[in-house]
Structure 1
Amino acid sequence: MKSRDTGFPRADAEYDFLRARRRQVLSRLANWLRREPDDVNIMLPFDEVVEALGKENERRIGLRVIRLDSIVGSVDRSRDFDRRFRPTSARVRQRWERLATASRRGEHIPPIDVYRVGDLHFVIDGHHRVSVAYALGLTSIEANVTLVRTKLNPAGIRYRGDLIVKGYRRLFLERVPLRGEARAAVVVTEPEDYARLGEHVEAWGFRLMQDEGTLLDRVTVARRWYEEEYQPVVQMLRQAELVGDRTEAEAYLWVAGERYRMIRTHRWDDDVIRAVRLQRR
């Protein structure tokens, strides 16, 4: 929707701010009525995102034109604006209206400064400029961009709660350094399942080293677990149509848990032995 243009920049800027505040309040009300997560309208904190994904390095790539809807977070101003950079209170009003007035008069507005993580952008400096650009109906903005590379791809991050899953996955891949196709294939949806899976793989690797009487590094254990244990079990689960709505890794965790549950029952009848044998590596 286009902003109002009466020919009086100062008055229009005041109207723009009030409209942005009203939309922010209505958005909060709508989220409450829909019972959406508390963090659905909250800006993503840059530090938490990078911690969850694991930072590798950064470098400046200079001036770029970026889409406003790719800006999802902030370095330090997440309380002043919501996810769509609408003001959350009146405390930013004076500076906001000054920038909006200048924009309406056609004055030069400096580029903002952002970090880029994958396809996502996080504002270092220029929160008010982003907010005004949204209010004026713009779709892009000039930005000085610093590219940040992380161990995990940020794809799939929508809300703050998604960072928990990413953090657990990063820790899992440090414990179980899968590569290539294996890395992409082993995915779970619940954070705690990554912890359970990591413990399972480490235990499997310990038994493997005992059986072979040799010391293996984590990369080798991860590769052999995937090839000798995970893939055969998942293939059987597919053939038996037991994966269902779960991911293959979740189905694997379920059957691995059932194997140990059956062992703990101390029922050593033919059915139990047959079920365990089918699931052995």
Structure 2
Amino acid sequence: MPVRDTGSPRADAENDFIRARRHQVLSALAGWIRHDTHDVVQTLSFDEAVDALGRRGETYRGTQVIPLDAIIGSVDRARDFDRRFRPTSSKSRQRWERLARASRTGETIPPIDVYQLGDYYFVRDGHHRVSVARALNLDVIEANVTEVLTMLSPVEFSRREQLERKHWRRIFLERVPLSRARRAHIEVSDPVHYGWLAEMVEAWGARLMHAEETYLDRPTVASRWYEEDFTPVLEMVEDAGVRGEDETEADAYMRVSGERYRLIREHEWNRDIMAQVTRRKRRPRRKQDDPTRL
């Protein structure tokens, strides 16, 4: 929508704020009608994102010009602005309009401060400046950028449901520290199943240490589990043709491992055991079918 310009910066700034608030209210109403979740309408929390991805450190990248559309969240003002940084109340209207007037009259506006996670940015300081810039239909803004380094790759996390998956995956990889190449094969359909799979690996490692009468650290257990259990089981699953169309490799591993133990109370694998498992009609896993109860 074109930005109105009457020639009076004060009046135009007032109109800018009224327009931004009106759009926020209408957007919230439309979201309520559509039953949108919070991750669609609310600014994303930086703390939630970093907690899900796992923080390793940070590096200051200097002052840059960044795209406004790449700013998706806030460090501590998530409830004061919606996903498009429109104000959710009128409590800071005077400050907002003062910045709008300054922008319209060409005054120097200091850079905002942001954290960078991958291709996305979270505002540390300058929420009102971002809000005004969006209301004035600007495409970019100047920012002091600090890049945050994370354990998981900071991609596909702009929604809270994606953050939940990242959170459970990070916890799994802390308990089962696989190499980067191998972790690419570990994906589950339900994020909660990452916890179940971690327990399965730890139980496998405990049996291995008992059998070999030695202590093995987590990286060693993870590597040997992947080589000696996960990969061979998947090969048998593929040979038997029992992997479901909607199953990931990890989904299939968890299902047949659970079926094996329910059928024969055995932790070993061979072709005869796989044949017994595959003769049982495949059924969808229910929430109560926890494969870690082995």
Give the TM-score of the pair, scaled to structure 1: 0.90
Residue 255 of structure 2 corresponds to which residue in structure 1? 254
| Residue identity in the other structure for 2:249 | E
Residue 285 of structure 2 corresponds to which residue in structure 1? none
Query: What do the CA deviations read for 1:98-135 (whole angstroms, capped 9, x no partner)?
Result: 11111111111111001112222111110000001111
Residue 90 of structure 1 corresponds to which residue in structure 2? 90
Are 1:55 and 2:55 matched, yes or no?
A: yes
Query: 5 Å matches for 1:197-208?
Result: 197-208=197-208
Question: For the structure 1 residues 99 and 236, does the alpha-carbon distance in structure 2 shift closer, same or farther, using more than 3 Å as the test?
Answer: same
Greater shift in the superposed pair: 226-235 or 70-79: 226-235
CA positional deviation for 1:211: 2.7
Question: For the structure 1 residues 10 and 236, does the alpha-carbon distance in structure 2 shift closer, same or farther, using more than 3 Å as the test?
Answer: farther
Return the alpha-carbon distance in structure 2 between the equivalents of residues 44 and 147 of structure 1: 17
Residue 159 of structure 1 corresponds to which residue in structure 2? 159
Query: What do the CA deviations read for 1:138-184 (whole angstroms, capped 9, x no partner)?
Result: 11110001111111122121223433322221111111001122112
Could you say which structure has the higher helix fraction? 1
Question: For the structure 1 residues 27 and 277, does the alpha-carbon distance in structure 2 shift closer, same or farther, using more than 3 Å as the test?
Answer: closer
Query: 5 Å matches for 1:157-236?
Result: 157-236=157-236
CA positional deviation for 1:14: 1.3
Residue 124 of structure 1 corresponds to which residue in structure 2? 124
- SS of 2:235's partner is helix
Return the alpha-carbon distance in structure 2 between the equivalents of residues 160 and 277 of structure 1: 37
Greater shift in the superposed pair: 121-130 or 39-48: 39-48
Runs of 4+ residues deviating >4 angstroms: 270-273
Return the alpha-carbon distance in structure 1 between the equivalents of residues 40 and 27 of structure 2: 10
Structure 1 unpaired stretches of 5+ = none
Greater shift in the superposed pair: 162-171 or 72-81: 162-171
Are 1:14 and 2:17 matched, yes or no?
A: no
CA positional deviation for 1:276: 5.3
Return the alpha-carbon distance in structure 2 between the equivalents of residues 30 and 73 of structure 1: 21
Give the TM-score of the pair, scaled to structure 2: 0.86
Does structure 1 conserve the Cα–Cα contact (< 8 Å) formed by 2:256 and 2:277?
A: no
Query: 5 Å matches for 1:262-273?
Result: 262-263=263-264
CA positional deviation for 1:8: 1.9
Structure 2 unpaired stretches of 5+ = 280-294
Q: How many aligned positions are there?
A: 274
Let me know the Cα RMSD of the aligned residues.
Answer: 2.2
Query: 5 Å matches for 1:40-51?
Result: 40-51=40-51
Return the alpha-carbon distance in structure 2 between the equivalents of residues 45 and 179 of structure 1: 29
Does structure 2 conserve the Cα–Cα contact (< 8 Å) formed by 1:165 and 1:189?
A: no
Does structure 1 conserve the Cα–Cα contact (< 8 Å) formed by 2:53 and 2:166?
A: yes
Are 1:133 and 2:127 matched, yes or no?
A: no
Question: For the structure 1 residues 6 and 234, does the alpha-carbon distance in structure 2 shift closer, same or farther, using more than 3 Å as the test?
Answer: farther
Return the alpha-carbon distance in structure 1 between the equivalents of residues 116 and 38 of structure 2: 25
